[in-house]
Amino acid sequence: MVIEGNLDGKGLKAVIVLSRFNSFITERLLEGALDALGRHGAASPVIVRVPGAWEMPIVAAELARQKKYDAVICLGAVIRGDTPHFDYVAGNAASGLAHVSVETGVPIAFGLLTTNSVEQAIDRAGAKSGNKGFDAAMTAIEMVNLLRTLRDDGKPA
């Protein structure tokens, strides 16, 4: 038996946590996520803007605890500079979001780019390497449906 989540977003309530830092990239990720949700039948998501990736875990935790949303989609871009700052911001965001997801049982999609250059970020925000915001939203839909199936009776729909 194989159990997996389908990509039907009908009735799905998502919330997007969107970082304003590097907004020329993150706004493209938002476009991708909205495209994916809309094309798979999900309702228009609530969008919560935060200053930067560092602030994402506490906001994602608050939203997940409210139990108003089926999934939290986090979109941001951390781009490496000349100092170790990148490692602290990206590392905290990644481990914080993983923790929130496991602790609350609410799927958190990790649409946070962590790149060595602006070019790599552009490539992943709608250019050569697709749009990671789109991918994160698709993952959110799949995970909501997978967890519903597992919490139901374990049988695929």
The DSSP letter of residue 70 is: S
Q: Which of 9, 15, 22, 111 is close enough to bind ligand INI by CB under 6 A?
A: 22
Nearer to ligand INI, 12 or 61 (CB): 61
Q: CA 54 to CA 145: how far, in whole Å?
A: 29
Check binding of 142 to ligand INI (CB under 6 A). Answer: no
Stretch that binds ligand INI, among 1-9, 31-39, 49-57, 139-147 (CB under 6 A): 49-57
Q: How far is the CB of 67 from ligand INI (least distance, A)?
A: 26
Helix (H) or strand (E) holding 152: helix 132-152
- Chain positions 50 to 69 lying near ligand INI, rule: CB under 6 A, are 51-55
* The dihedral sign for the CA sequence 35, 36, 37, 39: positive
Sign of CA dihedral 116, 120, 121, 124: negative
Least Å from the CB of residue 117 to ligand INI: 11
Tell me which of 39, 65, 67, 85 binds ligand INI, using CB under 6 A: 85
User: The dihedral of CA 7, 135, 13, 38: what is its sign?
Assistant: negative
Catalytic residue among 85, 95, 130, 157: 85
Q: Is 40 a catalytic residue?
A: no
Burial 126-146 (b: 16+ CB within 10 A, else e): beeeebbbbbbbbbbbbbbbb
Binding-site ranges for ligand INI (CB under 6 A): 19, 21-22, 51-55, 76-79, 81, 85-86, 89
Q: Which residues are marked as active site?
A: 85
